[in-house]
Chains A and B, each alone.
Chain A
Amino acid sequence: MFLKKILIILFLGAGLFIFSCEDTFDLDINDDPNFPTPENANIDALYASVQVNFAQFLNGSGPNVTNLNDFGMQLSRQRAFTFGNVYANSYQPTTFDDIWRQAYSDFLPDADEIIKQAEERGLPFQGGTTKILKAYVLMTLVDAFGDVPFTEANQGADFLSPRVDSGASIYAAAEALIDEGIADLGAETISEPLSDNFFNGVVNDWINAAKSLKIKLYVTTKLVDSGAGAKMMAIVNDPDYVPSNFYFQYTSNRANPDSRHPFYQDSYETVEGDYQSNWMMWVMSKEKGISDPRIRSYYYRQVPEVPLDDVNRFDCVFSPLPTGPTPQHYLDCDPNMPYCVGNLEEGYYGRDHGNNGGIPPDGDIRTVYGVYPAGGKFDANTFNDILNDGTDGGLGAGIQPLIPANFIKFYRAEAALTMGTGEDARTLLGEAVRESIDNVLAFTAETDPASLEEVVGTNPNTGESIFGSQLVPVDSTIVEYVDEVLSIYDAANDKLDVVMKEFLIASFGNGMEGYNMLRRTGRPFNVQPMIQPTSGSFIRSALYPAVYSTLNEFAVDKSETTQVFWDTNPADFIK
């Protein structure tokens, strides 16, 4: 009897115990069932990720994500610098975290995997183009931060704290990578990838882009490489070399996925976007006495003139209204320096360099990005509100200019003046400006045809409708502008100053280009100073990101006045 009871208990207990949890005893369940394993990578999807990550590294993954393009545009006065009123505290190390992450943990691992797999599987297009993009990323990292991890980088548990390499050695590695990329692209059999947001799979354009990148590299390193001019001319004189428009192309798709230009996402949805640079708008609308033919493509104005009826709209720092007086240190820099607005009479309203004041209710009068390169709206004097949930202009189908063909002419003009290449700087300058204008206007016509077809007014004399296209500069206006540039060039004591200012205008939308130019040449001279008279030394390189300086045990210190290897200019070279 007693035994029977024991049996009942054991049977019930043990039986239930085992039955109820047969898979409870399985402890070998460590593979995450929610993701594929690295061995299963899809090569097309991985290659697409290289391209998308490249764009995000340079231009951010969306509005309000700090990126090197913004950083460069702010420092080079292509856009308003509003994060601080002294250079030293304007960017915190954490500002650069996303940039570092996108370069090292997003772009480079995928790029390295593609390069590896391209070799194994014989995919020279994917391998070659990835090497070119990787070289661009490495050069840009050096341009921004100086010495950065490279040889020990991207090796996972082997080097959790990779040490930095010298900028010069990374540039050398980048140069070699470009050459490898060009060699790969010269292969006989090319299998195109599913997607290519740069050149839609055209191999030759890629090869030319690679050569343009080498020219950029040589110009950038001109102060530390006496042979740079000759190396550059070797490419210029290469009969196969026809510079291509090296762009990353965004599209107009608004959601799932949002593939639009971040500038457009920033300014054309529901919340006021970035402030534009008063100085840049002044340079283009007023400085020369004639308007830049590109200004209606670069900027869209919401008002025909800046209204002065509401003092609340302004945060001028030194006076309630932009009507002045202009602070003395501005006048010392340039007697016509704009103050508080870009151009009062023509409605260009932005922010002064280094004005980090609060945000007044000025959303209705801010000048915003136009059609180039953001894919926004062409300024045909329509003066509309542009916060319409992304329904205006080119719908965000913009581009990230990397090395458009006209840059090469600017590089050559600069080289002619400073690198002893023997070319005619004046001719090159004239051609460069013309090409830049043509390029911008062609992009405008292609990207925002609706604004050009729009009726924007009536001719009071004839009663005929005026169409947006009539506000697109005609050839004679362009010629007049180019001639004006050349006459300024002829009159100038410092020819390079004229070339660099025109290059800064032409490179609008590629902030690192402008930032590099300032550090390399110290020009243009009359860039707007910080609004606070004592604002410290110019930022010569980005602070190391917090994710590096606090997480890497071999992190080295540096300040924002540390100069990158190719910048051998004096300490207080730039305002």
Chain B
Amino acid sequence: MKKISLLLVLMVSLVGYSLAQRTISGTITDDVGEPLIGASVVAKGTTVGTITDIDGSYSLGIADDVNTLVISYTGFDTREMALGASNVVDIVLSAGVELNEVVVTALGVAKEKKALGYGVTTVDEGAVTNRNETDVARILRGKTTGVDITSTSGLAGSGTSIIIRGFSSISGSNQPLFVVDGIPFNTDSNTSENFITGGAASSNRFADLDPNNIAEINILKGLSATVLYGEAGRNGVVLVTTKTGQTGRNINKGMEISFTQRVTATSVANLPEYQNTYGNGFSGNFGWFFSNWGPSFDTRGTNGIGEDGTVPHPYVTNGFADQYPGTEFKPYEYRPYESVEEFFQTGIGLNTSVGLAKQVGENTQVKANYSYLRDEGFTPDLVDGSSSNNYTRQNFSLGANTKLDNGISINGTFNFVDSDRLTPPIGTSDGSGPTFDSDPSLFSDVLYTPRSIDLFGLPFQSELDNSQTYYRQTSQITNPLWTLNNAKDTEEVNRFFGNINLGYNFTDDLSINYRISLDKYTQFNNRLLNKGGNQFRDGLLSSSTYNTTIIDNLLSLNYDRQLNDDFNLSLTIGGNARKEDEKLETINSTQQFVYGLATHDNYIETQATTRNTFENTLGIFGTATVGYKSFLYLGLQGRNDFTSTLEKENRSIFYPSANISFIPTEAFTGLANNKVVDYLKFRFGVGTSAGYPDPYQTRNILSSSTNDFQTPAGTTINLNQISNRLGNPNLTHESHREFELGVEGNFFKNRIGIDLSLYDKRSSDLIIDLDIDPASGFRNTTVNAAELENRGVELGAWVQPFKGDLQYRLGINFTRNRNLVLGIADGVASVPIAGFTNLGNFALEPLEISELPDGETAADYPLATERDGFLYFPFATIQGSKFERVDGELLVTDIGFYQATDDISPIGDPNPDYTISYLNTLSYKGVSLFVNLNYTKGGDIYSGTASTLLARGNTIDTEFDRFLPFVLDGVTEDGNPNTTQVYAADAFFEGFFGPNEGAIFDGTTLRLREISLGYTVPKNLLENLPFGSLSINFAAENIWFKAFNFPEGINFDPEVLSVGVGNGRGIDFITGPTAKRFGVSLNASF
């Protein structure tokens, strides 16, 4: 905050003078001795004053009769200092209530926080730098209210989903707009893989941001805060200010070099606790099954185990021995092997960052930043010793700002990012190998490897033809080590983003600004799959190139004037033009010719596609803020957009917003001067926004494809087909509106603070990709139909029980959001959101209680919320098959097992009841300890990992005497209690692989998100050294978690998202565990 404030102070240039009869000088510092730059020093009772310079020093000539100095600084308690005889007065200010805190709002305009009628969250540099995570979003987890951040996978470079104030669109994106130094920043998650074939590991393009270069992040959550961004801001806006893009930054001594070096170790967050009593087999007999229901390890001479405790070598029984001529495969010891434990390893990451900043004269600054990152994941190294999962990124940033003699100010930033990513493919698995044959996956079978399989003792690649070999022949299990060494996804990104701003102040009140910004990247993805695996047996090479450009122009005219003693008026009007192009070319080649060579010409069949989309948006906007005295503010904003994605008559959309801020502690001084209340603000805002469809939804097309079929004579047939999508010329925009109410306050001499927001957001006319009855001739169309509601509470609170050398601050961020579907479309019961059509996330039409089927009551729908005679379902309700029930009791069939329902029904609500983070900061002199503890209450997850481990008998949860019969709880068809005995393995197998409901677990989790311990070397120790500052920081992330409602041995981290970044949640299709990270970083400035 200091830095922005300084900017203002410099601009306002508050310098007074009088006849000097006495000159007082000194230094103003904060509690820990840091100089305060730009602090105001005023002789009390006069207009004489000055501000401190870059070293915190001031010098002020005052009249003799002045006996008190008033020293004030944004964010600090104002202090009055009586003058004695000495002309040197050093003053220490203590951090106080940030009454006049300035925050960055829409379009980068800095405003006093108290004037805002909506909530804004600021995360400063300290909370972002020195972390091991390489992606900014993951670093923000738990640090703000109202923002829900989920990583998709533990792999290096994988994507992250950010949802602010709930999902407000069903088919459209719910990810917020990123604006970096004013540049609308594309954060798409581009992937040529769908969720089945490995979308969970795809990256987001905000990964291109270098956390080392971030100065500040402001998050605009509500619609009244984001209205000036038009529809692009409907999901919230993340405003990122980089160090190189920041103007008016404090540069010590006119020149500063900063250096950061970090080393990070990444390992798997947790593995299941495996049992070591039983091995591979089924029904207690040994066999090369997927399952671990074989005989116990002390079995000798029965159930398929030899007298000497061995079993035949699998390669002898399944014929793979032929693939290794000359190798003798001896019988195999039947005992537990730690195959899974040995599978994962620790990846080492490095990050070097150098920053340079130079103040040139009074008006010019030049800044540069370079960062090199190499991050390795926890998957095993390849046989050649190289890493199988890594992410390398170089960021180049250059920024400069200056003011020309003619009064024009110019600033700009130029950033180039070059990144490379390598991951093994991680497609989904249904617990019996990959879900589909087209779905190579490293993790599909690893975690449930039977205990008696010695993964590392079995050669995985044929010596004859390089095909895979594993314990089970002719099955979908491809040896994971073969997949590791023969399948890889690579991604290369070259990205440029930059802007140029021109500004001119006509008068003190009136200024004009123009900015052009460009964000352009090329993303090249490649999937190589050598021939010889069970998925794409003949090999695959699939390449896609995304070429994406956003050009954004913004012209604005600003007017800001103190009209009289009471009223202040600020106005902005402007125009915005944005052009977004995306060009995609893909090449798919199949049938590899020479093993191992990854060129398209080494494949026999090749197909290519082109997909180009173009989207233009024009907007005009205006905003007015009227301030009355310093306690009442009214803000009015509006924007009108014109989009190219709709037909002419629906193109123009106007969105207004209004907000009010009232500060009673300023209005009634009596309120503030007591021991309880220091500051109190009430705010109220209403905002609107829209959402546009993707391009090309309004008109019909003809689908055309080549190489579709062959005639018996060998002619290859190309097809034209009437497209399955029905164009909707009447499509219009989505509408969102939100009411927001807030209270901010500081109490007990600024030892306790709260910032509470309540909001109610209604999203209607939502564009859905509506599946229609194919009997209409079309499978889907795009319509405006659905309606969603988000109601939530965001409470940020902090307590600072003691200050001084030893400081402790507890920050609490509480977020609760209720995200309900208020309607979909006439006659439509559900719209799939993510996952499979018979298992995944859905938006469900509300049910009218009076029209429920016979015998059903509201109690039969525990996931729904009852209101006004209707049952409303949460957004993204998980649907799948349920256990068949008789009068509420589980039905057991006459052979003793549960039965799945025919069709799908709601089985889980993936939305957490609430999340709460505890941010503990303890500091003593230069040592600072930060502990971030997160608790997520509720939120169901369909966990394929957990259900498979249970169904297949791998973990300690199934380490019981398996020969005792099981009688499943439940009733038979006639309602009598079940008495049929079944074998334990069958009970678990049927129970967890039967109805999908068996795989639903409550996701309540307590997590030690982050610990960091830093030490900053005190200034006095650095005096004889070349450093301006020196610090060392240890950080660890995701080091411990406990998911209370999972069986003990599963150790499953619910924070995964197998459907990738999108609108799904609470879905785990065995796409791998999460990661934990430890690291140390050294920071120095010169």
Contacts and interface: CB of A to CB of B under 8 A. Distances in A.
> Do A and B share a complex?
yes
A8 B537 CA distance: 66
B534 A271 contact: yes
Contacts of B728: 157
Contact of B776 (A31, A148, A161, A361): A161
Nearest to B771: A551
Contacts, number: 311
A106 interface: yes
Contacts of A88: 902
B577 A21 contact: yes
B531 to A, nearest CB: 9
Contacts of B903: 92-94, 546
A35 B703 contact: yes
B1086 interface: no
Contact of B474 (A13, A32, A270): A270
B826 to A, nearest CB: 6
Contact of B534 (A24, A200, A270): A270
Contacts of B475: 271-272, 361, 363
B722 A110 contact: yes
Given A364-B474, A546-B903, A34 B504 contact: no
Contacts of B895: 85, 532
Given A29-B614, A312-B287, A101 B779 contact: yes
A5 B407 contact: yes
A24 B579 contact: yes
Interface in B254-301: 281-283, 285-289
A162 interface: yes
The listed residue with most A CB atoms (<10 A of its CB), out of B476, B714, B778, is B778
Contact of A13 (B437, B502, B645, B724): B502
A21 B553 contact: yes
Interface stretch (A37-45, A418-426, A483-491): A37-45
A9 B704 contact: no
Given A249-B712, A257-B716, A270-B534, A551 B700 contact: no
Interface in B682-719: 695-696, 698-704, 707-719
Contact of B699 (A31, A149, A364, A534): A31
Interface stretch (A170-178, A190-198, A467-475, A497-505): A190-198
B1021 interface: no
Given A30-B644, A92-B903, A249-B712, A52 B776 contact: no
B124 interface: no
Contacts of B707: 256-257
Interface in A175-203: 194-197, 200
A552 B775 contact: yes
B927 interface: no
B716 to A, nearest CB: 7
Given A24-B577, A29-B616, A45-B718, A154 B711 contact: no
A257 to B, nearest CB: 5
Interface in A121-141: none
B492 to A, nearest CB: 24
A549 B185 CA distance: 43
Nearest to B827: A553
Interface in A491-547: 532, 534, 543, 546-547
A33 B612 contact: yes
A21 B506 contact: no
A89 interface: yes
Interface in A423-457: none
Contacts of B614: 29, 33
A92 B838 contact: yes
A287 to B, nearest CB: 29
A313 to B, nearest CB: 8
Interface residues of A, number: 104
Contact of A100 (B644, B651, B775, B899): B775
B551 interface: yes
Given A16-B514, A17-B514, A251 B712 contact: yes
B675 interface: no
A27 B616 contact: yes
A28 interface: yes
A45 B721 CA distance: 8
A48 B708 contact: yes
A52 B708 contact: yes
Contacts of A154: 775-777
A381 interface: no
A551 B773 CA distance: 5
A163 B899 CA distance: 33
A20 interface: yes
Given A27-B651, A110-B722, A34 B712 contact: no
B417 interface: no
A41 B704 CA distance: 9
A3 to B, nearest CB: 11
A108 B777 contact: yes
Nearest to B584: A34
B129 interface: no
Interface string B736-772: 0000000000000000000000000000000000011
Contact of B553 (A20, A249, A553): A20
B642 interface: yes
B611 interface: yes
Given A30-B699, A156-B726, A255-B538, A312 B721 contact: no
A49 interface: yes
A52 B706 CA distance: 13
Given A45-B718, A269-B537, A548-B773, A12 B579 contact: no
Interface string B116-143: 0000000000000000000000000000
Contacts of A160: 772-773, 776, 781
A26 to B, nearest CB: 6
Contacts of B827: 161, 551-553
Given A154-B775, A548-B775, A35 B476 contact: no
Interface in B722-736: 722-724, 726, 728
A251 B716 CA distance: 11
A30 B700 CA distance: 11
A41 B702 contact: yes
Contact of A253 (B618, B710, B901): B710
A436 to B, nearest CB: 22
A387 interface: yes
B816 to A, nearest CB: 32
A311 interface: yes
B720 interface: yes
A550 interface: yes
Given A21-B579, A35-B701, A38-B701, A547 B719 contact: no
B721 to A, nearest CB: 5
B408 interface: yes
A270 to B, nearest CB: 5
A147 B605 CA distance: 44
A373 to B, nearest CB: 14
Contacts of B777: 104-105, 108-109, 153-156
A29 to B, nearest CB: 5
Given A36-B702, A161-B776, A361-B472, A255 B714 contact: no
A235 to B, nearest CB: 28
Contacts of A310: 287
Interface of B: 281-283, 285-289, 304, 319, 406-408, 437, 472-476, 502, 504, 506, 512, 514, 516, 534, 537-538, 551, 553, 555, 575, 577-579, 590-591, 604-605, 607, 610-612, 614, 616, 618, 642-648, 651, 695-696, 698-704, 707-724, 726, 728, 771-779, 781, 826-830, 837-838, 894-895, 899-904, 989
7 contacts: A6-B504, A36-B701, A45-B719, A49-B720, A97-B837, A106-B724, A253-B710
Given A23-B616, A35-B723, A105-B774, 17 more contacts: A14-B555, A32-B699, A34-B696, A36-B701, A38-B701, A52-B719, A53-B721, A104-B776, A105-B778, A156-B778, A161-B776, A161-B827, A162-B773, A257-B710, A270-B534, A311-B285, A385-B319
